């Protein structure tokens, strides 16, 4: 089959592209390279441009017989979304609106959407179920939820099949070390700790140690990026076989505290990483852990790398061999 991957040069997008190539599927990438990296793409047809460019979208749909879309392209920084909410409505909601409109126009009826645990906001229950309330606490989560709803109504009205995948904390990298995680600026815990291990920053700040958790630091559910990639492929297959419109959590089901992550990084890297407690980061819930039973039962998803040490090891394989990320590679 032929799958269009929007945002295919980003972190999760590029790992999904690689995974699809390994399954011998035809992949076409659409990316404006604002955050993604050309060097993350290997032997794949790509179009450079924006989802807001409807002329380009027509061209992509006319030139290729696309069976399904996996839609990653989005802005995804919680803090930035608080400062620039309209940019998030523009880049996320408006761009996706154009993509959906063009998909319907060109009779491409299957879309897998990259959603987020941020759609839940402060959770009422742990582990979080897909049926739990969705009350986002920031514009990032709000825009992803708006898109989920746009997809639901497009299914009802036009028969556009969709699956929304709500990820928890993506981590790790291609085990072969071909591609990895490279954000500028970096805000995610594991790459930050690994950069500190490489001496690229002066230690790590622990954002708060007075949360109601066993060691006082926040707990998150880390999930290997290739396990996420596998779930996208299964979701595409589900849509092509059965159609429909649904939402799935993707997480490990196990939580790790910030201190446990730092300790695991010390073990894997064999480096003495300095960590100091600093004030809480605004908007961080104490604990986010997914129930992914639905994805396992309905999609047949089987995560392979659910051990934190393995995720950190794979991330370290990449970081320690690409100290400047994709630059000069």
Site of interaction with ligand UDP (CB under 6 A): 169, 187-189, 192, 204-207, 218, 220, 258, 281, 284
Kindly give the pairing relationship between strand 219-220 and strand 287-288. parallel
Query: Closest-CB residue for ligand UDP?
Result: 218
List the beta bridge partners of residue 170: 223
For ligand UDP, the closer of residues 61 and 222 by Cβ is: 222
The DSSP string of 155-193 is HHHH--EEEEEEE-EEE---TTSSS----SS---HHHHH
Short-list 132, 96, 223, CA closest to 172: 223
Q: Quote the tokens at residue 250.
A: 């993707």
Nearer to ligand UDP, 20 or 193 (CB): 193
Residue 138 C-beta: closest distance to ligand UDP, Å: 10
d(CA 138, CA 131): 20
How far apart are CB 324 and ligand UDP at their closest, in Å?
Answer: 20
Phi, psi (deg, nearest 5) at residue 288: -135, 110
Nearer to ligand UDP, 208 or 303 (CB): 208
Please, which residue, 231 or 289, has the CB nearer to ligand UDP?
289
The position carrying tokens 């154009």 is 98
Nearest-angstrom CA–CA distance, 328 and 31: 20
Residue of 140, 155, 211, 222 marked catalytic: 140
Burial code (b: 16+ CB inside 10 Å, e: under 16) for 240-253 equals: eeeeebbbbbbbbb
Smallest distance from ligand UDP to CB 301, Å: 21
Q: Which is nearer to ligand UDP, 152 or 188 (CB)?
A: 188
Task: For residues 233 and 113, give the distance between their C-alpha atoms in angstroms, rounded to a whole number.
Answer: 12
Q: How far apart are CA 48 and CA 38, in angstroms?
A: 10
140 flagged as catalytic: yes
CB closer to ligand UDP, 106 vs 205? 205
Q: What is the distance between the alpha carbons of residues 100 and 104, in angstroms, rounded to a whole number?
A: 6
Question: What is the smallest separation between the CB atom of 158 and ligand UDP, expressed in angstroms?
Answer: 33
Minimum CB–partner distance for residue 204 and ligand UDP (Å): 6
- Encoding tokens for residue 208? 């708060």
User: What is the sign of the dihedral through the CA atoms of 29, 76, 198 and 263?
Assistant: negative
Minimum gap (Å) between residue 226 Cβ and ligand UDP: 18
Q: Which residues are catalytic?
A: 140
């Amino acid at each position: 089959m032929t799958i269009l991957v929007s945002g295919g040069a980003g972190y999760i997008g590029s790992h999904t592209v690689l995974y699809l190539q390994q399954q011998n599927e035809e992949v076409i990438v659409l990316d404006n390279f604002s955050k993604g990296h050309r060097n993350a793409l290997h032997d794949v047809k790509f179009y450079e441009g924006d989802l807001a460019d409807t002329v380009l979208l027509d061209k992509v749909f006319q030139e290729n017989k696309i069976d399904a879309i996996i839609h990653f392209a989005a802005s995804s920084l919680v803090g930035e979304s608080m400062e620039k909410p309209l940019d998030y409505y523009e880049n996320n909601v408006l761009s996706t609106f154009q993509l959906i409109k063009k998909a319907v126009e060109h009779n491409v009826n299957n879309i897998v959407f990259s959603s987020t645990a941020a759609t839940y906001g402060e959770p009422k229950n742990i582990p979080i179920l897909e049926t739990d309330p969705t009350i986002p606490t920031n514009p990032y989560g709000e825009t992803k939820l708006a898109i989920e709803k746009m997809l639901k109504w497009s299914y009802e009205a036009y028969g556009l099949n969709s699956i929304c995948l709500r990820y928890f904390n993506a981590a790790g990298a291609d085990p072969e070390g071909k591609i990895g995680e490279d954000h500028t600026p970096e805000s995610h815990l594991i790459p930050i700790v690994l950069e500190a291990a490489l001496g690229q920053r002066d230690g790590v700040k622990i954002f708060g140690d007075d949360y109601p958790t066993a060691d006082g630091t926040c707990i998150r559910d880390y999930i290997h990026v290739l396990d996420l990639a596998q779930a996208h492929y299964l979701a595409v297959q589900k849509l092509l076989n059965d159609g429909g419109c649904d939402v799935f959590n993707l997480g490990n089901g196990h939580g790790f505290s910030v201190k446990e992550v730092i300790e695991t990084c010390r073990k894997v890297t064999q480096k003495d990483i300095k960590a100091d407690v600093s004030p809480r980061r605004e908007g961080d819930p104490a604990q986010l852990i997914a129930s992914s039973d639905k994805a396992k039962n309905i999609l047949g998803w089987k995560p392979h790398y659910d051990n934190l040490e393995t995720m950190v090891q794979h991330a370290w394989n990449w970081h320690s061999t690409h100290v400047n990320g994709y630059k000069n590679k």
